[in-house]
């Protein structure tokens, strides 16, 4: 995206404007008579139309004009805001977004406008006309004149208000030959003179067949407040009977805008920039400044003519420490720069709930908490779809109809609660509904029907609930348009895990369900545990590590073939990474086990050596290596070599799978 493209800047602005209008509309839906909200919507639409026309978004400007007109009437008390009007304008929002992006379907506009007119009957006057098409008659020929004689006096405060009389006279001279006479008779004596007061009168004779408008145009800004006599000078031999121009004074506005054709442009998505509070940039700038100073110290040392002395070594060490501190501070600041409040995400869900309530005919209220919680921008974007799906599910399957709710002794309006909070290095997001809860019998029946569980097989409650994350699993007796949109809970789970997060369910029959998402704060840098297997080094995300212990020769021997260790009365399967990775070097005498856990499952990883904790900057794998399982990415170590980052989900699943197979065999 070009930084120099106002149209691109407008797209970003338009997205913000539309979001603002939408929020106001949703508030208005609750308080239909709130005049401030009506004003907010009107102003937003007005700005959108005006700027849209500026940057060649003519279709947007024309369409928005209709909505603006509708709200103008509401604003002026000529019409009433109604739920239907708000709903139509909300659909119009979507169309405007499409118009901003340049991919609006042609027909949609008329359909929405038809609904708009139905929602707000026109009051005689045609409610909608294309904006800024001027009716001004094309340049009417001025009657034949030889020139003008004008006498004028500017408003006394003209100069104080920035009008320069000399510039006006110059402009008149630009129209034709000019004779100017200044009349200073109104000027007071010098000691009574206010230099800012404009008290001089002028008389000007202007030659040429100049249209009256051209002269009036010179004085356009002061016209209303000044004294002026303007008389045409007719040619000495009049041969026409044309009366002097008696045109009404021209509208005090600039001429019609030229229409800029809307070229098909590459449309950069509006969400690709991050807004950053200035003070955060200042902090970063300070650190960069310090870094530059340290760098110059380092250069000085490198260029010093002396060989490495003890003194030099101390200086070098202090520089290294300084750089380490600065880099870690810059890293922290940088991560904060990428943070956006989750309110940006939650805002969208109000609209979703509004639409869902209409579609399902249920009464639904949305309660949100913790909107100020900040998450990495990329994380926020990727969370949108899973949360939309969970909210859809909650509204469609979870919440009962008003009648059912009343029968069950609940308030008729269903409630969906969305919360966000920070917990350690994670963001905790919950989606709760107070509906009927997950029907475990039906989940069980479905799982058996799909062959996921054997009839009669014992299954813990969490395991049973997690069945809904299997691909193709759906408990809805009937697939409605809401939930049957092709995305399943398995996709939700995969997306969350792709963010290195987890998803948990709690559900009480008759009282509702809660889905809890735990997402790491940022994707770019993690705390890792650096280990060695054979000659290769690997990183294990520290959040997944439960404990490290030694694999004694005794345990090792005893577990041959079984690959299980006893950990405080629990058997934990383990994987020998040397075997897994085909390491051919001699194993270390004292092998270690790193116990990792995810989603309640534990697996031990046998490694040669635990090197220590490591700040890991995650680099994604190249396309060639992406199909490789067991690794989720790579990082570059201090010595420049590459260490692979272990994929915890995969390894835990692999360990558990092997154990299950061994158990089946044994």
Partner 1 sequence: MTASILTVDDSASLRLATRIALTGAGYTVAEASDGVEGLAKARGCRFDLIITDLNMPNMDGLTMIRQIRQLPIQTGTPIIFLSTESDDGLKQQAKAAGATGWLVKPFQPEQLLRITQKVLAR
CB atoms near residue 527 (< 10 Å)? 14
DSSP symbol at 621: P
**CB 115, min distance to partner 1, A:** 25
Please identify, among the stretches 40-48, 231-239, 413-421, 613-621, the one whose residues bind partner 1 according to the rule CB under 8 A. 40-48
Q: Does 282 bind partner 1 (CB under 8 A)?
A: no
Beta-bridged to residue 539, according to DSSP, are 530, 645
Please tell me whether residue 459 binds partner 1 under the rule CB under 8 A.
Answer: no
40 touches partner 1 by CB under 8 A: no
170 touches partner 1 by CB under 8 A: yes
Taking CB under 8 A as the criterion, the residue among 1, 13, 108, 440 binding partner 1 is 13
Choose the binding region for partner 1 from 139-147, 249-257, 630-638, 641-649 (rule: CB under 8 A): 249-257
> What would you report as the CA-atom Rg of the chain, rounded to the nearest whole angstrom?
37
Among 143, 26, 146, residue whose Cα is nearest residue 86: 26
CB of 404 to partner 1, least distance (A): 46
43 binds partner 1 per the rule CB under 8 A: yes
By CB under 8 A, tell whether 55 contacts partner 1. yes
Q: Give the integer Cα–Cα distance in Å for 593 and 575.
A: 9
Per CB under 8 A, does 196 bind partner 1?
Answer: yes
Stretch that binds partner 1, among 27-35, 255-263, 287-295, 350-358 (CB under 8 A): 255-263
| CA dist., res. 100 & res. 503, Å (int) | 36
Q: Is 457 in the site for partner 1 (CB under 8 A)?
A: no
Tell me the number of residues near partner 1 by CB under 8 A.
42
From candidates 137, 166, 372, 624, binder to partner 1 by CB under 8 A: 166
Nearer to partner 1, 4 or 481 (CB): 4
Dihedral sign computed on CA atoms, order 368, 373, 377, 382: negative
Q: Is 221 in the site for partner 1 (CB under 8 A)?
A: yes
Stretch that binds partner 1, among 2-10, 425-433, 493-501, 646-654 (CB under 8 A): 2-10
Distance of CA 374 to the CA centre of its chain: 13
Q: Quote the tokens at residue 634.
A: 């790579």
CB 253, min distance to partner 1, A: 5
Tell me the closest approach of the beta carbon of residue 250 to partner 1, in angstroms: 13
| 478 lies in the binding site for partner 1 (CB under 8 A) | no
Sequence length of the chain is 666
248 binds partner 1 (CB under 8 A): no
272 interacts with partner 1 by CB under 8 A: no
CB of 644 to partner 1, least distance (A): 43
22, 81, 37: which is closest to 353 by C-alpha?
Answer: 22
Listing DSSP states for 91-118 in one string gives HHHHHHHHHHHT---HHHHHHHHHHHHH
Q: Is 194 in the site for partner 1 (CB under 8 A)?
A: no
Please give the backbone phi and psi of residue 67, each rounded to the nearest 5 degrees, phi first: -65, -40
Give the whole-angstrom CA distance, residue 477 versus residue 352. 23
> Could you tell me the strand order of the sheet in which 178-183 lies?
178-183, 201-207, 147-153, 227-233
Residue 162 in contact with partner 1, rule: CB under 8 A: yes
Among 25, 45, 53, 74, binds partner 1 (CB under 8 A): 53
Nearer residue to partner 1 within complex by CB, 344 or 480 = 344
Is there binding between residue 171 and partner 1 (CB under 8 A)?
yes
How many Cα atoms occupy the beta-carbon half-sphere of 423 within 13 Å?
13
Instruction: Tell me how far apart the alpha carbons of residues 178 and 208 are, in angstroms, rounded to a whole number.
Output: 10
Q: For residue 173, state whether it binds partner 1 (rule: CB under 8 A).
A: no
> Near partner 1 by CB under 8 A, which window of 39-47, 411-419, 438-446, 582-590?
39-47
- Would you count residue 637 as binding partner 1 (CB under 8 A)? no
Q: Rule CB under 8 A: is residue 78 a binding residue for partner 1?
A: no
Given a contact cutoff of 8 angstroms between Cβ atoms, the answer to whether 267 and 14 are in contact is: no
Residue 232 has a CB neighbour count (10 Å cut-off) of 19
Quick check: helix, strand or coil at residue 628?
coil
CB closer to partner 1 out of 6 and 412? 6
Q: Which is nearer to partner 1, 248 or 456 (CB)?
A: 248
6 binds partner 1 (CB under 8 A): yes
Does position 499 interact with partner 1 (CB under 8 A)? The reply is no
Question: Which residues share a beta bridge with 369?
Answer: 419
Q: What gap in Å lies between CA 50 and CA 58, rounded to an integer?
A: 10
Q: Is 229 helix (H, G, I), strand (E, B) or coil?
A: strand
Shortest separation between residue 40's beta carbon and partner 1, angstroms: 12
> Binding to partner 1 (CB under 8 A): which residues in 80-119?
none
Please report whether residue 167 would count as binding partner 1 according to CB under 8 A. yes
Q: Measured from the CB of residue 48, what is the shortest distance to partner 1 in angstroms?
A: 11
- Closer residue to partner 1 in complex, CB, 186/225: 225
161 binds partner 1 per the rule CB under 8 A = yes
Q: Is 12 in the site for partner 1 (CB under 8 A)?
A: yes
* Residues in Cβ contact with 278 at an 8 Å cutoff, skipping those fewer than 6 apart: none
159 binds partner 1 (CB under 8 A): yes
Among 135, 237, 258, 638, binds partner 1 (CB under 8 A): 258
Ordered DSSP codes for 565-583: EEETTEEEEEEEHHHHTT-
**Rounded to an integer, what distance in angstroms lies between the CA atom of residue 431 and that of residue 146?**
80
Q: Locate 388 and state its tokens.
A: 């939309």
Nearer to partner 1, 219 or 469 (CB): 219
- Stretches 109-117, 161-169, 290-298, 301-309: which one binds partner 1 (CB under 8 A)? 161-169
Tokens of 267: 């449309």
Instruction: Count Cβ neighbours within 10 Å for each residue of 84-120 and write b for 16 or more, e otherwise.
Output: ebbbbbbebbbbbbbbbbbebeeebbeebbebbeebb
Chain residues binding partner 1 by CB under 8 A are 4-7, 9-10, 12-13, 43, 46-47, 50-51, 53-55, 61, 131-132, 157, 159-164, 166-167, 170-171, 196, 220-221, 224-225, 252-255, 257-258, 260
């Amino acid at each position: 995206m070009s930084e120099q493209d106002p149209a691109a800047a407008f797209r970003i602005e338009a997205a913000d404007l539309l979001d603002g209008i939408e929020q106001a509309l949703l508030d208005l839906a609750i308080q239909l008579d709130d005049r401030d909200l009506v004003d907010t919507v009107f102003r937003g639409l007005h700005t959108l139309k005006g700027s849209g026309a500026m940057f060649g978004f003519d279709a947007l400007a024309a369409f928005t004009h209709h909505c603006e007109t509708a709200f103008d009437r509401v604003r002026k008390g000529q019409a009433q805001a109604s739920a239907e009007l708000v709903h139509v304008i909300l659909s119009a929002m979507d169309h405007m977004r499409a118009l901003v992006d340049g991919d609006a379907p042609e027909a949609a506009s008329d359909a929405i406008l038809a609904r708009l007119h139905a929602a707000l009957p026109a009051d005689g006057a045609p409610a909608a006309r294309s904006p800024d098409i001027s009716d001004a008659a094309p340049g009417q020929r001025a009657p034949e004149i030889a020139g003008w004689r004008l006498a004028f006096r500017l408003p006394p405060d003209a100069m104080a208000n920035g009008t320069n009389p000399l510039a006006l006279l110059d402009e008149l001279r630009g129209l034709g030959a000019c004779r100017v006479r200044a009349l200073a008779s109104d000027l007071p004596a010098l000691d009574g003179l206010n230099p800012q007061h404009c008290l001089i009168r002028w008389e000007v004779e202007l030659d040429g067949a100049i249209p009256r408008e051209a002269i009036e145009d010179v004085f356009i800004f002061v016209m209303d407040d000044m004294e002026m006599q303007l008389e045409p000078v007719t040619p000495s031999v009049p041969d026409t009977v044309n009366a002097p121009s008696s045109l009404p004074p021209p509208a005090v506005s600039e001429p019609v805008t030229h229409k800029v054709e809307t070229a098909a442009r590459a449309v950069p998505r509006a969400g690709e920039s991050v807004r950053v509070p200035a003070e955060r940039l200042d902090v970063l700038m300070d650190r960069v400044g310090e870094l530059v100073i340290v760098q110059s110290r380092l250069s000085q040392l490198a260029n010093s003519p002396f060989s490495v002395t003890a003194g030099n070594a101390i200086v070098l060490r202090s520089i290294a420490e300084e750089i380490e501190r600065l880099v870690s501070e810059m890293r922290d600041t940088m991560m904060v720069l990428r943070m956006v409040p989750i309110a940006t995400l939650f805002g969208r869900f109000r609209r979703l709930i509004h639409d869902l309530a209409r579609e399902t005919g249920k009464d639904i209220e949305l309660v949100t908490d913790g909107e100020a919680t900040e998450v990495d921008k990329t994380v926020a974007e990727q969370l949108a779809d899973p949360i939309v799906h969970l909210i859809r599910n909650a509204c469609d399957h979870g919440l009962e109809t008003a009648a059912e709710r009343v029968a069950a002794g609940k308030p008729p309006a269903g409630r969906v609660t969305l919360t966000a909070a920070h917990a350690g290095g994670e963001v905790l997001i919950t989606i709760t509904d107070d509906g009927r809860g997950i029907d475990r019998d039906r989940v069980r029946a479905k799982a058996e029907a799909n062959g996921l569980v054997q009839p009669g097989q014992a299954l813990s409650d969490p395991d049973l609930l997690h069945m809904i994350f299997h691909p193709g699993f759906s408990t809805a007796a009937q697939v409605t348009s809401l939930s049957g949109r092709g995305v399943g809970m398995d996709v939700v789970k995969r997306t969350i895990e792709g963010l290195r997060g987890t998803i948990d369910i709690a559900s009480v029959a008759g009282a509702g369900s809660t889905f809890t998402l735990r997402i790491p704060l940022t994707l770019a840098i993690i705390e890792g545990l650096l280990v060695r297997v054979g000659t290769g080094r690997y990183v294990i995300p520290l959040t997944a590590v439960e404990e490290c212990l030694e694999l004694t020769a005794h345990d090792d021997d005893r577990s041959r073939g079984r690959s299980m260790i006893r950990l405080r009365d629990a058997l934990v399967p383990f994987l020998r990474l040397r075997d897994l990775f085909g390491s051919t070097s001699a194993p270390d005498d004292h092998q270690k086990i790193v116990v990792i856990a995810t989603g309640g499952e534990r697996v031990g990883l046998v490694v040669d050596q635990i090197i220590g904790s490591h700040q890991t900057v995650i680099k994604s794998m190249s396309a060639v290596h992406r199909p490789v399982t067991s690794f989720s990415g790579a990082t570059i170590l201090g010595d420049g070599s590459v260490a692979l980052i272990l994929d915890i989900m995969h390894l835990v699943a692999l360990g558990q799978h092997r154990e299950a197979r061994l158990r089946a065999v044994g």
